[in-house]
Amino acid sequence: MHTELTIHPVPVRAMNLPKLWYQNNPVKTHFFNALSTLFPQGENFFISSIRNFEHCARSPALKQQILDFVTQEKNHAAIHKAYNRCLARAGYDVAWMETLLHDKISFGQKHVPPLVLLAVTVATEHITAVLGEKVLQGDLVPEGIDPELRKIWIWHALEEVDHKAVAMDLFVEAGGTYWQRVRAMLYSATGICWDTSIRMFHMLKRDGLLFKWKTWWQLAELMFGKKGLVPLVTWDILRFFAPGFHPARHNNYGLVDHGRRLLGLEAAAGHFP
Ligand SMILES: [Fe+2]
Ligand SMILES: [Fe+2]
């Protein structure tokens, strides 16, 4: 990992969110918008879960990777906050979405052991890394969508792939177990599906599109189409359940440089475990 990756692809203050920025497709637009509404609080949750155990990191390399992880996630949270402000200005109830997630995270932080919260971070980081891989492979945010929004998603995706092993490495050093992370993935995967769906449905309803046949057709396409989420990500998510799973064993780090080139940046030198 490298901190030089932590650049904002677009100035936060100048962010502009076109209405249907994903090829005029409201379902795909709002799927990504819904993910965006989860990020600022989600990423702050990852940071605090990791900080709870940073003293367990023994190697200087992992200590540095934790610092880089925190910087990257803070930057993501900042840009997605600006993104979400655009959604609020467009009339979507972002405050309601933030309250829901705030209550859920606070409940967890009050009642769930910190190592379990770290396991949830490990599982969620795997999901974001898988989604990031698909973005960088050109399957989820292809050419032809709004170029500024594409930049943001590519930037976020490449940093998710870049730091995908950090939470897992720390979890192992902190004494986390296989069953803890398995249970965490079951919780995390269903939670993300639910949290994303209710936000997406809210935005489609607000646009007056929720009860149209075309919307449900587009939804089926997003889920089960040739490049739909189910065929794209299911197998990669399931790899997490293998007892010997470790994110770094799936070596897709070349995609980080690919993403940098898509953003017009030089490939970075000398990275990765
Ligand atoms: Fe992130
Ligand atoms: Fe992340």
90 contact partners, CB below 8 Å, separation of at least 6: 17, 19
How confident is the model over 44-98, as pLDDT tens digits? 999 999 999 999 999 999 999 999 999 999 999 999 999 999 999 999 999 999 9
How confident is the model over 187-216, as pLDDT tens digits? 999 999 999 999 999 999 999 999 999 999
For residue 164, the ligand closest to its alpha carbon is 2
Please give the distance, rounded to the nearest whole angstrom, from the Cα atom of residue 68 to the centre of ligand 2: 11
For residue 46, the ligand closest to its alpha carbon is 2
Where is 100: in which H helix or E strand?
Answer: helix 94-111
Write the DSSP string, 125-192. HHHHHHHHHHHHTTSSS-BTB-HHHHHHHHHHHHHHHHTTTHHHHHHHHTT--HHHHHHHHHHHHHHH
For residue 166, the ligand closest to its alpha carbon is 2
**170 neighbors 54 (Cβ within 8 angstroms):** yes
Question: What are the φ/ψ torsions at residue 143 (nearest 5 degrees)?
Answer: -60, 150
How confident is the model over 1-45, as pLDDT tens digits? 544 555 566 666 668 899 999 999 999 999 999 999 999 999 999
Please give the distance, rounded to the nearest whole angstrom, from the Cα atom of residue 160 to the centre of ligand 1: 6
Question: What are the φ/ψ torsions at residue 145 (nearest 5 degrees)?
Answer: -90, 170
Please give the distance, rounded to the nearest whole angstrom, from the Cα atom of residue 119 to the centre of ligand 1: 16
For residue 163, the ligand closest to its alpha carbon is 2
Report the distance separating Cα 96 and Cα 185, nearest Å: 26
Report the distance separating Cα 127 and Cα 99, nearest Å: 23
For residue 127, the ligand closest to its alpha carbon is 2
Beta-strand (E) ranges in the chain? none
Please give the distance, rounded to the nearest whole angstrom, from the Cα atom of residue 199 to the centre of ligand 2: 21
pTM (two decimals): 0.94
